[in-house]
Amino acid sequence: MLTDDADTGELTRRWHTGPVTEATTQTRYITCVLCEASCGLEVTVDGEEVRGIRGHDADPLSRGHICPKAIALQDLHTDPDRLRTPVRRVGAPGADATWEPIAWEEAFDLVAERIVAIQAEHGNDAVAAYLGNPNVHSVGALTHGVNLVRTIKSRNTFSATSVDQLPHQLMAWALYGHQFLLPIPDIDRTDLLVLFGTNPMASNGSIMTVPDFPGRRRDLQARGGRLVVVDPRRTETAKVADDYLPIRPGSDAYVLLAMVRTILAEDLARPADYVDGIDAVREVVGPFTAERAAEASGIPADRITDLARAIAAAPSAALHARMGASTQAYGSVAQWAAQAINILTGNLDRPGGTMFTSPAIDMVGKKLIGGGHLGSWSTRVRGLPEFGSELPVSVLAEEITTPGDGQIRGLVCIAGNPVSSTPAGSALGDALAGLEFMVAIDFYVTESTRYADVILPPTGPLERDHYDLIFHTLAVRNTARWSPALFEKPEEARHDWEIARELALRIIALRAAAEAGSGIKGAATRVLQTVKDLPHVVEAQARFRTTPKQQVDLLLRTSGHRLSVGKLAATPGGVDLGPLEPRLPDRLATRDQRINLATPLVLDALPALLAAEPVARADELLLIGRRSQRDNNSWLHNLPRLTRGKARHQLLIHPDDAVCRGLTDGDRVTVASRVAQVEVECAVTDDMMPGVVSLPHGYGHDRPGVRLSEATQLPGVSINDLTDPERIESIGANAVLNGIPVLVSSIPGE
Ligand SMILES: Nc1nc2c(c(=O)[nH]1)N[C@H]1C(S)=C(S)[C@@H](COP(=O)(O)OP(=O)(O)OC[C@H]3O[C@@H](n4cnc5c(=O)[nH]c(N)nc54)[C@H](O)[C@@H]3O)O[C@H]1N2
Ligand SMILES: Nc1nc2c(c(=O)[nH]1)N[C@H]1C(S)=C(S)[C@@H](COP(=O)(O)OP(=O)(O)OC[C@H]3O[C@@H](n4cnc5c(=O)[nH]c(N)nc54)[C@H](O)[C@@H]3O)O[C@H]1N2
Ligand code: SF4
Ligand SMILES: [Mo]
């Protein structure tokens, strides 16, 4: 039953359940969709109430693992801040705005009409789309949301990829022929795991779906294997490693290239016979000596060469460079070199090395994801390249504010919070305020969605079916798991995919009517009725009306594994398809099914890297981000189960850097970058490398108009107010989010 919630006014409605009349306790098995680990959960429900959430011990992938975020799924389900009906903003964005509930049909009509009207007047590129991270965690967003974006037909399509893993995809495309041929560390069998710029003890892994990293790490060490961590902060993962090497932010490319050089110079390379270009690589890495790397990174030269030798000598080794190594000026070079080390030492495609998965639904083999292309078009203002049909999100603000042909005037923001997640977020917010129209598909009024004219809230994670199309492809073990909706959705609610379907069909209908010059007028719903028999409208309806469940079922049935949704649903925890298996060279998507290591894109970037100067002046520190196990990017910061406990928003600073600025633990400081300045408390800790400070990513909810009733429980500022959209990665234009030069100073009188 849906009733108005008196406490939260017109903004939200709360789902009240009736009294439980009989003992209805049931145990159900679902997938946690909050992070890449994709843990299997065992949930006890009583009617519509969650009684308990624990890890599912018999799950072949996650083996009983769970973290605090999954426990908080029940808070998310009942969260009074969560929107349950579409709302329309009344008044300018900000503290005084009010949000008025509107009916779904009215909302769909309004949104479709505005998108089509802006595109009719200014061209398709005038409406942009931004897709945030949770899209990859929702099967309906992948089956239907992506098609909605295609329907919008705008070159101005952006996503969280360009503040995250773009260099991985770019190098997978360049080396293996497909942006999603991403080798995964075979953690369960490796003898040596080397991690650059990733903190799986908190993040639970990335581009490595590795539920229970803590347990798998213990197993690794118990069988005599070693873990090495390279990171500017002594992270939770560094603390459990056998070896920890502090590295100056932004210098990974030098270190990794020096390791490539050592392997080649000392004749340690044992690549497979389908690898070409080694002589060319030997030549170009010549100047990237361990001494040069030591100067840039602060890691002693002998430690760098020793690490390279250790990888070459180990029976098996997997080097994985992730978030911290990607979001830097030479992130693609770093990713290339990481791949090169695995390839050259014979660790690519061998048990215990890095391997390609064999997912039941093979998104690559079935061509469900495009292979990738670079620079087929460029951004209007700065001329930065597209990759895989997306533009780098660092240009979003300038593309909105710079007048001229192709200027962005409308935005469709799907499961994203770019004000919090992308460089110079506050400035982007100012730009969003100037849009003619913005729609958000989201269930919160956030730093970003507060600028929307209309917010369309989809069902939450406990109310929808799920099959992990992406993370089965990136997992450390081959399994297949169907996750049925835990609760029926309320009748009035809409799934992500239903919202995408309704918008797309209306947009198609309005365009069809305009093209037919029929003069058909009226609300989009009525226009859709009128044109529904036109052939391409019939085709679109068929495409959008197939449910995600039907699509997954078809894909499973044709997978060659004799699977179906029904079969998986009857197997709680899913089906185990075994450990990763060697797949090369057959799996390669390159034209000649060989790997050309001498990637021209990378080779061409090396002279600039060699000549690069340090980015920070003597009085500046380098700012990096961090994640806590109890955070999830920019959301869930209002859920009681995750916001209790010790403060974790502070600027972390090394004691030497604190002393010379007259700072003591807990002082308030200003942190100033080229683009902005913020004030925040500091915490003094020798976990930080000297010269480096850290703020968590996804904080700073205290902004006018954000509607999170508990937001004050998590204070803090947004690191992305300080990051700089002018700092971009040299090949693919990924955002540089780490290693930002900042001035840190005490606040006089405090
Ligand atoms: N400085 C710095 N910046 C960073 C990072 C960093 O480490 N440092 N990390 C980067 C990374 S890796 C990422 S992935 C990005 C994330 O950046 P974004 O993807 O832009 O932001 P999220 O915080 O994931 O916001 C997700 C939004 O989706 C909504 N949402 C959640 N679930 C659903 C759903 O099922 N459907 C819909 N429609 N909406 C939903 C939430 O309410 C929230 O508003 O941030 C990046 N930015
Ligand atoms: N609890 C939790 N889990 C999450 C998320 C979350 O927000 N919270 N977000 C999810 C998402 S979207 C993603 S993409 C993954 C990311 O998962 P990870 O890749 O593990 O990302 P982070 O935890 O941000 O770790 C990045 C590390 O890089 C380090 N670093 C910063 N700069 C540099 C540098 O220049 N060089 C090197 N070598 N290291 C550097 C940082 O100190 C940090 O420890 O986590 C996912 N899981
Ligand atoms: S590790 Fe990730 S997938 Fe597993 S329970 Fe925690 S949030 Fe969910
Ligand atoms: Mo991410």
Q: What is the pLDDT of residues 410-459, one digit of tens each?
A: 999 999 999 999 999 999 999 999 999 999 999 999 999 999 999 999 99
Residues 547-569, mean pLDDT to the nearest whole number:
96
- 134 alpha carbon to ligand 1 midpoint, in Å? 6
pLDDT score, position 710: 64
> Whose C-alpha lies nearest to ligand 1, atom 37?
415
pLDDT score, position 15: 32
Question: Is any ligand 2 atom within 6 A of the Cβ of residue 198?
Answer: yes
- 199 alpha carbon to ligand 2 midpoint, in Å? 6
Question: Is any ligand 2 atom within 6 A of the Cβ of residue 161?
Answer: no
> Whose C-alpha lies nearest to ligand 1, atom 23?
634
pLDDT score, position 714: 84
Residues 620-638, mean pLDDT to the nearest whole number:
97
Question: Is any ligand 2 atom within 6 A of the Cβ of residue 326?
Answer: no
Query: With 50 as the cut, is the pLDDT of residue 151 above it?
Result: yes
The average confidence (pLDDT) of the chain is 95
The H or E element containing residue 440 is strand 437-441
pLDDT in tens, 37-50: 999 999 999 998 99
Query: With 90 as the cut, is the pLDDT of residue 22 above it?
Result: no
Question: Is any ligand 2 atom within 6 A of the Cβ of residue 325?
Answer: yes
Q: Which residues contact 418 (CB under 8 A, 6 or more apart)?
A: 130, 132, 158, 393, 396, 425, 428, 448
Q: Which residues contact 720 (CB under 8 A, 6 or more apart)?
A: 419, 420, 421, 422, 423, 424, 425, 697, 737
pTM for this prediction: 0.96
Q: Radius of gyration of the chain from Cα atoms?
A: 25
pLDDT score, position 570: 96
Ligand 3 pocket at CB < 6 A:
32, 34-35, 37-39, 66-67, 69-70, 204, 211
Q: What percent of the chain has pLDDT over 70?
A: 96
**Dihedral over alpha carbons 271, 274, 280, 286 (to 10 degrees):** -20
Q: Taking Cα atoms as reference points, which of 332, 320, 334 lies closest to residue 193?
A: 320
pLDDT score, position 168: 98
Mutate to test the pocket of ligand 3, among 30, 35, 74, 474 (most ligand atoms within 8 A of CB): 35
pLDDT band at residue 517, thresholds of 50, 70 and 90? Answer: confident
Question: Is any ligand 2 atom within 6 A of the Cβ of residue 68?
Answer: no
pLDDT score, position 644: 87
Query: With 50 as the cut, is the pLDDT of residue 10 above it?
Result: no
Alpha-carbon gap, residue 9 to 228, rounded angstroms: 52
Ligand 1 pocket at CB < 6 A:
132-134, 138, 160, 163-164, 323, 414-418, 420-421, 441-444, 446, 458, 496, 625, 633-635, 697-698, 719-720, 723, 737
Alpha-carbon gap, residue 166 to 650, rounded angstroms: 28
Question: Is any ligand 2 atom within 6 A of the Cβ of residue 687?
Answer: no
- 160 alpha carbon to ligand 1 midpoint, in Å? 7
- 710 alpha carbon to ligand 4 midpoint, in Å? 24
Query: With 50 as the cut, is the pLDDT of residue 543 above it?
Result: yes
Which ligand minimizes its atom distance to the CA of 233?
A: 2
- 736 alpha carbon to ligand 3 midpoint, in Å? 27
pLDDT score, position 713: 67
Q: Which residues contact 295 (CB under 8 A, 6 or more apart)?
A: none
Among the atoms of ligand 2, which is closest to the Cα of residue 323? 19
Query: With 70 as the cut, is the pLDDT of residue 750 above it?
Result: no
Query: With 70 as the cut, is the pLDDT of residue 712 above it?
Result: no
Q: Residue 679 gets which letter from DSSP?
A: E
pLDDT band at residue 749, thresholds of 50, 70 and 90? Answer: confident
Mutate to test the pocket of ligand 1, among 84, 133, 456 (most ligand atoms within 8 A of CB): 133
Query: With 70 as the cut, is the pLDDT of residue 14 above it?
Result: no
pLDDT score, position 720: 98
Question: Is any ligand 2 atom within 6 A of the Cβ of residue 729?
Answer: no
Stretch among 181-190, 606-615, 700-709 having the lowest mean pLDDT: 700-709
- 331 alpha carbon to ligand 1 midpoint, in Å? 21
Please tell me whether residue 595 adopts helix, strand or coil conformation: strand
Alpha-carbon gap, residue 155 to 609, rounded angstroms: 30
- 93 alpha carbon to ligand 2 midpoint, in Å? 32
Residues 294-299, mean pLDDT to the nearest whole number:
98
Stretch among 95-104, 353-362, 533-542 having the lowest mean pLDDT: 533-542
pLDDT score, position 589: 98
Question: Is any ligand 2 atom within 6 A of the Cβ of residue 203?
Answer: yes
> Whose C-alpha lies nearest to ligand 2, atom 42?
233
- 645 alpha carbon to ligand 2 midpoint, in Å? 22
pLDDT band at residue 17, thresholds of 50, 70 and 90? Answer: very low
> Whose C-alpha lies nearest to ligand 3, atom 3?
38
pLDDT score, position 711: 60
Residues 317-338, mean pLDDT to the nearest whole number:
98
Alpha-carbon gap, residue 14 to 21, rounded angstroms: 21
- 164 alpha carbon to ligand 4 midpoint, in Å? 5
